[in-house]
Structure 1
């Protein structure tokens, strides 16, 4: 179960790195606008907010990476529990306020990884 926890957590961390890149660097580009369903004028007006969101996603990825480096079943486990909990809360809040899709893209993978971490 520990290997499953490591793999799922690493995938969640990589997902948040991907979101960081989309929000910080591609928000106004075709790739970012397509990923988030944005019109060019709205993307341009909201790019500073998106960069801020991207930075927060980077912090989530960094916390998960730190926990993995410390060891999923050892000293890193509390870090993983905390940051995966943050991922889940962010996903639930995003689903409630922005798009239901976020529940499945962010919160569900975070919950699966958290369950694996707790069971390892």
Structure 2
């Protein structure tokens, strides 16, 4: 079960790296569909800059999670992963309340499942 748990956490990390790619490099039409935002807004320089900035944070969060899996083990890794999954859940709740409820399901739910697996199955 520990391997499955780490696999689920790695999927959360890869999801954030993928979201970073969408936020930083996708065309406004794709971003509008993915993030439930108006295309005209996403074509502005300010929106592009803000979304790219948000993307770098998501990308680095994903990379950081993968690095933690590679460099730590045992109870240290368990505590780090619990804190990171809680952080993602809090951010997803905030995003769900302020941007679109889709964030709760797309980012929050996978992190919640991973958190449960880490708390129960990772030793």
TM-score exceeds 0.5: yes
Alpha-carbon contact 1:16-1:58 (below 8 Å) kept: yes
Alpha-carbon contact 2:36-2:100 (below 8 Å) kept: no
Tell me what 1:40 maps to. Answer: 39
Aligned equivalents of 1:62 and 1:6: distance in 2? Answer: 14
Deviation at 1:27, TM superposition (A): 4.8
User: TM (normalized to structure 1)?
Assistant: 0.88
Deviation at 1:62, TM superposition (A): 1.9
Deviation at 1:99, TM superposition (A): 0.8
Q: 1:72 to 1:35 in 2, by over 3 A?
A: farther
Alpha-carbon contact 1:64-1:80 (below 8 Å) kept: yes
Deviation at 1:14, TM superposition (A): 0.7
Provide the alpha-carbon RMSD of the alignment: 1.7
Structure 1 spans left out of the alignment, 5+ residues: none
Q: 1:27 to 1:86 in 2, by over 3 A?
A: farther
User: TM (normalized to structure 2)?
Assistant: 0.86
4+ runs of 1 displaced by more than 4 Å?
Answer: none
Tell me what 1:4 maps to. Answer: 4
Tell me what 1:56 maps to. Answer: 57
Q: 1:117 to 1:58 in 2, by over 3 A?
A: same
Matched, 1:66 2:74: no
